[in-house]
Amino acid sequence: MVPMTIGTQRVVVGAGAMTPEQVVAVARYGARVELAADGVAQLAKVRGHIDELAHSERPVYGVSTGFGALALRHIPPERRTDLQRSLIRSHAAGAGTPVEAEVVRAMMLLRLRTLMTGHTGVRPETARALAELLDSGLVPVVPEYGSLGCSGDLAPLAAVALALMGEGSVHGPEGPRPMAEAMDAAGLTPLTLAEKEGLALTNGTDGMLGMLLLAIADLHRLFDIADLTAAMSVEAQLGTDRVFAADLQALRPHPGQAVSAANMRAALADSEIVASHRGEDCPRVQDAYSLRCAPQVHGAARDTLTHAETVAERELQSAIDNPVVLADGRVESNGNFHGAPVGYVLDFLAIAIADVASIAERRTDRMLDVHRSHGLPAFLADDPGVDSGYMIAQYTQAGIVSELKRCAVPASVDSIPSSAMQEDHVSMGWAAARKLRRAVDGLTSVLAIELLTAARALDFRAPLRPAPVTDAVRNLVREAVPGPGPDRHLAPDIAAVEELVRSGAVNHILDQGVSTQ
């Protein structure tokens, strides 16, 4: 992992809500951040309330007391800087493989957004320091384990706060390097945290929300591709497009189902292959469920994605910290840091992904089975028996689908008490987010294998031509992978098509094809 390449696009961070597209732009594509002037002024105003409380005799959680089960311990004024530093050092207790740069950057941006709401009580210079770290392209090392998804993503966010203090590690071209060294090279100054700021930097659901937003962006692309690969499989297996008709789909008016069916109709429009068996003499009455029910399954996944987007958009309007500073200056404890709302939809999306992948694998298997493929050669092999064709590609699909079913087991129903039973119910939302990322990767591979298989199956239907959309996608695949012939090393072919899926190249053709229908 190397430092992020910073782009020229700018995202203004203020007290208002942020869009999912802005988060992806900063996290994944290196957009720069700019603090809204009115938001910075509000930070200075709110900070005055915290400074007053810091000199008050009344104990205030996180300002003049310890944390968690140690909240009853009053901390004298001269030790409160030590309190914040100790909080970050002790909470940066993660373990395991470092998480991806885009996840760290999303987490940093979302914490900055919450700071800029004016409800956390941080100083303007603290928000500026986090913005400068983002714009530097330096990516703190954040270990995978350490968050229970309650009281915030504590250990991951503490690793970022540690970096702001000039401690910990940052990713470099040749591996991790000391943060202090990297900050000096980048012209950044380590931050000394004031009262309340350690909590403000760590007490949020930003890691799990960041991973949710990145997954949502990926799944919009992948669900469109799933509709395409399903259409290609229907076409390759001499299936009917009549079941995708708008009037039939309207009998069950789920929004996602209507979208998927429309996508499949557009992909199959003007197909010579489909037209070749549309007559009354065709003996087939119904296609298998994996073909006929694709819009219903894909549509349910789409509706799940819509629900997840609703939750994410609410979170992007939230100010998550404990305690929070209210408009009248009160500092109040709360439970808004609990990750249940995010954790549930992270798990829900993993379920949807597993099912979309499962039905794709069944369509692939049908194309390879000579008894069910309606005239295609066994395993789409050039010389079946001598050649095995795509036999083992389906094994790979099956192995991934099995893994995705395990990823679909919800993490958010789990809980394990912590902090001497003070934090006795947690969300495990971070764990749900981590397995969702694995699920997104798995779905990418499963759809790539169906695309690879369907493209070859369409080749075998020559001289009949596929639909213009599916033909264009088949030709895109052929630019990366040769057509039918003797067996060749298959793993690179799968990887090449995976890259077509990830890069957006397939979606670009779909966007063009649908717009011309």
Catalytic residues: 61
CA angle 438, 205, 123 (to 5 degrees): 135
137 φ, ψ to 5°?
85, 0
Distances (CA, A) of 214 to 103, 301, 354, 502: 8, 17, 18, 13
Nearest Cα to 429, choosing from 219, 97, 205, 218? 205
How far, in Å, CA of 221 to CA of 216, rounded? 9
Beta strand 331-332 with 324-325 is: antiparallel
Nearest Cα to 427, choosing from 419, 415, 439? 415
* First and final C-alpha spacing in the chain: 42
How far, in Å, CA of 230 to CA of 283, rounded? 22
Distance of CA 398 to the CA centre of its chain: 23
How far, in Å, CA of 348 to CA of 301, rounded? 9
For residue 264, give the amino acid letter: M
Q: Residues near 339 by Cβ (< 8 Å), separated by ≥ 6?
A: 149, 150, 153, 205, 208, 426, 427, 428, 429, 430
Nearest Cα to 109, choosing from 29, 179, 180? 29
| Strand ranges inside 14-71, DSSP E | 32-35
How far, in Å, CA of 156 to CA of 405, rounded? 27
Q: Does 3 sit behind a cis peptide bond, omega within 30 degrees of 0 on the bond before it?
A: no
For residue 195, give the amino acid letter: E
Structure tokens at 330: 């009160």
Per the CB < 8 A criterion, the answer to whether 142 and 160 are in contact is yes
3-class DSSP string for 423-439 = ECCCCCHHHHHHHHHHH
Q: What is the 8-class DSSP label of residue 370?
A: T
How far, in Å, CA of 279 to CA of 94, rounded? 64
For tokens 């900055």, name the residue: 112
Structure tokens at 198: 């350690």
Kindly provide the b/e burial profile for residues 497-506, where b requires at least 16 CB atoms within 10 angstroms of the residue's own CB: bbebbeeeeb
Q: Residues near 445 by Cβ (< 8 Å), separated by ≥ 6?
A: 396, 397, 400, 494, 498
How far, in Å, CA of 3 to CA of 133, rounded? 11
Nearest Cα to 121, choosing from 52, 23, 36? 52
Distances (CA, A) of 213 to 110, 204, 247, 442: 11, 15, 34, 18
